[in-house]
Homo-oligomer: A and B are copies of this chain.
Amino acid sequence: MNDTKINTIPQSAHSGYASLLSGFQSIQLGTVSAEQIPEVSYAPAVLTESREFYIHVSELSAHTANLRTSQKASVLLIEDEETCEQIFARKRVTFACDATEVERDSAEWKDAMERFGEKFGPIMNHLKTMQDFHLIRLQPKSGRLVVGFGQAFDVIGNQMDQLTHVRGIDGKGHRTATKQAANK
């Protein structure tokens, strides 16, 4: 059953997903404070071959304390508003992530900093010396892709590389007034 569903994923979903993953410079972030206050923000980011994100963020930003404390993040890649076809269905993918700080000067830190340097250029030579900045690894545990009206897919697999159909929450879709009246 699952195989059948996977086989029916339209090519537009795969290409939309690939385009979101390859096209971004920065990610939108959802984090939560120790007092359960939500915070939305953004950060320049790199993505590895194994589908982990790295961000390099300052203590001057609220998200940094939130990430280090809660160790949870929600990550959104979304097409620009100006170029989207339909404002009510901007192409996007959201990942629920575990957030882990990477120790400064460790092998992983150096590797990530090389990736940042390759992607963003000389500005990183300065930023990586800043002591209020911390490198955070964001590891997706689940994902949701939306490429148009009614075209939502769950992203699964260890490397977030498979798509499956979503059919509403608990199998429900949108409800019109007529449908609701009929159900009473």
Contacts and interface: CB of A to CB of B under 8 A. Distances in A.
B38 A172 contact: no
A175 B83 contact: no
A107 interface: no
Given A80-B80, A87-B44, A32 B32 contact: yes
In which size bucket is the chain A interface?
35 or more
| A-B pairs, 10 with minimum CB distance | A30-B40, A80-B80, A30-B38, A40-B74, A32-B38, A131-B175, A40-B76, A30-B30, A131-B180, A132-B175
Contacts of A40: 28-30, 40, 74-76, 94
A164 interface: no
Say how many copies of this protein the assembly contains. 2
Contacts of A44: 87-88
A51 interface: no
Contacts of A39: 30, 38, 74, 94
Interface string A71-82: 011111010111
Interface string A159-183: 0000000001100111111011000
Given A25-B81, A131-B177, A132-B174, A38 B73 contact: yes
A47 interface: no
Interface in A46-77: 58-60, 66, 70, 72-76
16 contacts: A28-B40, A28-B76, A30-B38, A36-B70, A36-B72, A37-B74, A38-B66, A38-B72, A40-B40, A40-B94, A59-B169, A80-B81, A82-B82, A88-B120, A88-B123, A130-B175
